Amino acid sequence: MAPTRDKFTIHSKAVVCQDVDMKGDITIGSGTIVHPKATIFAASGPIIIGSGCIIEEGAIILNRRKEVMRIGDDNLFEIGCRVECPMGNFNTVCTRARVHFTTRLSSYCVIGAGCLVVATDEEILDEFTVIYGPAAERRVWSGQGRIQEADLRRKHAEYLREMLPKFNRLRRGDGV
């Protein structure tokens, strides 16, 4: 079997630092920001990342499955997290959290700092699910404050779009 070739499709309005480790078939949408030292591996199947996502340094996004791993819009991957599952929109995976490939995130989920989420069977987390604490406890968020959170995230992205290119070389997209 021939090794798969790397194929990167980076939107012209995305900010992807040169120092990002990428392998496989990867598509990055408009306005997405990828910090240096992040890792995106499409090991078995392709990864499609939507628009407006923020992927911080040390974050690992890995697709072990043959099917396409779709990551929706406006997701935040904090420092050192590891995600192996597809997800909807506006999720937050906090610092050093890990989400196994047997899990799926819908939208507006929060995986707390250092939490490990592993499902024995395929599991789809309901919208507004929050996983927190050392025992990975669960609760449902009311959604209150999500507009303020969206505004804060937009400001964060604006700042990063301005500052990252000043201190890092960028990968150029093919202008999709």
pLDDT in tens, the chain (176 residues): 445 588 999 999 999 999 999 999 999 999 999 999 999 999 999 999 999 999 999 999 999 999 999 999 999 999 999 999 999 999 999 999 999 999 999 999 999 999 999 988 899 999 999 999 999 999 999 989 999 999 999 999 999 988 888 888 877 765 44
Judge whether 98 and 117 are in contact, CB under 8 Å. yes
How far apart (Å, rounded) are the C-alpha atoms in residues 118 and 141? 20
Give dist(CA 164, CA 175) in Å, integer. 19
> Residue 12: inside a domain, yes or no?
yes
CATH of the domain at 86: 2.160.10.10
Structural domain span for residue 72: 7-164
- Residue 1 belongs to a domain: no
The answer as to whether 142 is a domain residue is: yes
Could you tell me the pTM of the whole model?
0.91
Is 176 within the bounds of a domain?
Answer: no
- Reading the block at residue 175, the tokens are 């202008």
Count of structural domains, the chain: 1
* Rounded Cα gap, residues 155 and 7, in angstroms: 31
Cα 80 from Cα 97, distance rounded (Å): 8
CA dist., res. 122 & res. 91, Å (int): 19
Pairing of strands 170-171, 15-17: antiparallel
